[in-house]
């Protein structure tokens, strides 16, 4: 997870996700003072910084809501869309986005596209990509601009920015309203993909409200090399 803390903020502070602010505050103070994590009491400065960051986020209602949404999104994406009972089954003989039948069936390759809408047809093979691409995706620009389509025959896509990406899916920001279970198509300089919205929540800024959403890939086509995240074109 971005933000300099790989460990869950709730775990860092030793509280549950539903803990009230008073419990979070008391636990933070106990760890920093009584448990000796404060640098002035001989504690490790890096550990103290992690605790400070976790407390700063969880004590602020808006930041905590955003963080909780991120946890939920990343958990759902890690599990994949099949873990969502509301997800529709993926028919490999039909395009995942426009639902038109294609000629490739289960033999659709990494470069095969739907003749109707142009979406990639090859399903995401989690086992094949796990070891090869997990490290490589960490080098992709986390603010990568992408175009988001919410339905086929849409002439112009919505603008979106990718915040986190993995071989299984991604998290993005957009001004477009999205709903859990919705199918979307994404296109950017790195890949084309069809995915399912695993979670969507509004995030208010100074002038506007964005949507932060998780996307679990259904099909994926990589366009070019970015670090080690490379196209599988023969």
How do residues 148-182 score in pLDDT, each as one tens digit? Answer: 999 988 889 999 998 877 777 888 999 988 888 89
Say if residue 39's pLDDT is above 70: no
Kindly report the CA angle at 126 between 222 and 96, in degrees rounded to 5? 65
**CATH architecture under which domain 9-79 falls:** Orthogonal Bundle (1.10)
Q: Give me the CATH topology for the region 86-222.
A: Thrombin, subunit H (2.40.10)
The tokens describing 200, both together, are 């969507």
Say if residue 132's pLDDT is above 60: no
CB neighbourhood size of 232 (10 A): 15
List Cα–Cα distances, 200 to 23, 82, 156, 182, 195, in angstroms: 28, 17, 21, 10, 13
Report pLDDT digits (tens) over 95-126. Answer: 999 999 988 877 888 889 999 999 999 887 64
pLDDT for res 72: 73
Say if residue 138's pLDDT is above 60: no
Residue 87 DSSP code: P
User: Can you tell me the distance from the alpha carbon of 26 to that of 21, in angstroms, rounded to the nearest whole number?
Assistant: 9
pLDDT for res 149: 95
Report pLDDT digits (tens) over 191-227. Answer: 899 999 988 888 776 677 888 888 988 898 887 555 4
Average pLDDT in the 53-61 region? 91
Residues 125, 130, 136, 139: is their CA dihedral positive or negative?
Answer: positive
Could you state, in order of their start, the residue ranges of all structural domains in the chain? 9-79, 86-222
Percent helix, strand, coil in the chain (nearest 5)? 30, 25, 45
Say if residue 86's pLDDT is above 50: no
- Inter-helix orientation angle 21-29/45-58, to 10°: 170
The answer to whether 196 touches 229, Cβ cutoff 8 Å, is no
Say if residue 11's pLDDT is above 60: yes
Percent of the chain whose pLDDT exceeds 90: 22
Highest mean predicted confidence (pLDDT) among 20-24, 43-47, 135-139, 162-166: 20-24
| Mean pLDDT rounded to a whole number for the chain | 77
């Amino acid at each position: 997870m971005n933000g300099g803390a790989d460990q869950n903020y709730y775990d860092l502070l030793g509280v549950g996700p539903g803990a009230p602010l008073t419990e979070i505050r008391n636990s933070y103070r106990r760890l920093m003072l009584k448990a000796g994590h404060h640098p002035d009491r001989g504690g490790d400065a890096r550990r103290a910084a992690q605790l400070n960051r976790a407390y700063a986020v969880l004590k602020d209602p808006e930041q905590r809501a955003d963080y909780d949404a991120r946890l939920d999104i990343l958990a759902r994406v890690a599990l994949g869309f099949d873990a969502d009972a509301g997800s529709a089954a993926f028919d490999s003989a039909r395009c995942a986005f426009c639902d038109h039948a294609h000629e490739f069936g289960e033999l659709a390759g990494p470069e095969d596209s739907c003749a109707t809408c142009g979406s990639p047809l090859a399903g995401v093979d989690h086992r094949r990509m796990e070891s090869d691409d997990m490290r490589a995706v960490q080098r992709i620009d986390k603010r990568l601009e992408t175009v988001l389509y919410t339905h086929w025959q849409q002439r112009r896509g919505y603008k979106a920015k990718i915040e986190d990406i993995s071989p299984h899916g991604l998290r993005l920001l957009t001004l477009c309203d999205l709903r859990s279970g919705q199918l979307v198509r994404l296109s950017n300089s790195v890949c084309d993909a069809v995915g399912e919205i695993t979670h969507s929540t509004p995030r208010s800024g100074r002038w506007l409200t964005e949507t932060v959403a998780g996307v679990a890939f259904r099909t994926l086509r990589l366009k070019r090399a970015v670090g080690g995240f490379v196209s599988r074109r023969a």
